[in-house]
Amino acid sequence: MSYRIVYDLAATKFSSDTLNAAFPDHGFSSDQYLFFELGGDNNLYESYASRQRTLQRRVRNWSLIAMGSEWEVMRQLVTFAASCEGGGMRFSGASETAAETYIRKCRVIVSEAVTPDTLLQRMGCGVSLQIATLGDECPEWRKRKIETLTALLGQPGGTDTHQWFVRPLHDMKDAAALFAFGYMDGRPIYNMASVSVVHQSKRPLMKDLAMRKQHAF
């Protein structure tokens, strides 16, 4: 049976003060989070070279799987935890993972969330906001939001749709736009975002970042 393997988790926190400074008109009332997962299917493999030999390992990629305030992120992650009950998801190295175990681990990761600058040392995140076509059928509230996004991010791209490509780890205005208007895309966040990690480590990413921070002092 096919199932998803979770290899690593990471989270970053954007303070409400910083977001409000970048986008005062929205009025963020709480800190906002991005939650990442390194995972892949158990039956998908890729080849790689090692000491003049060709080896195989399971395919794994980083994904942005949840965003929003702390309770919004945990709400999304709790829904994913249901996959553990039927054996559809487990942590790497485990024969099975209980939903409670997955949720507990996610809570720890959220509580240890690092700053965007810290995560940016290891990861680049690209997200596209896609807004519905502005036409006669477009309600006034959507027109106003599109005007607000245009004032914040500049003219959108696209022809049939209004599109903004944002980099929330690089630019606080982009992060504010994502948290304020990302829901208008209509897709789950994991289908909106592309994530890359420049440097890989044998240690879990959050532990690796914590150790780097300690060595910096």
pLDDT digit string (tens) for 64-88? 999 999 999 999 999 999 999 889 9
146 contacts 162 by C-beta, under 8 angstroms: yes
* 97 — pLDDT class (breaks 50, 70, 90): very high
The Cα 41–Cα 43 span in angstroms is: 6
The predicted pLDDT at position 134 comes to 61
* 206 — pLDDT class (breaks 50, 70, 90): confident
Check pLDDT > 90 for residue 110: yes
Neighbours of 216 (CB within 10 A): 6
Tell me how far CA of residue 50 lies from CA of 53, 55, 74, 203, 212, in angstroms: 5, 7, 39, 20, 27
pLDDT digit string (tens) for 8-36? 999 999 999 999 999 999 999 999 999 99
Mean pLDDT taken over the chain: 88
181 contacts 145 by C-beta, under 8 angstroms: yes
* Domain residue ranges of the chain, discontinuous segments joined by +: 4-115
Region 42-47: mean pLDDT is 77
SS3 content of the chain, % helix, strand, coil (to 5): 40, 30, 30
More confident residue, 135 or 194: 194
* 117 — pLDDT class (breaks 50, 70, 90): very high
pLDDT digit string (tens) for 142-165? 888 989 999 999 998 877 788 999
The predicted pLDDT at position 46 comes to 77
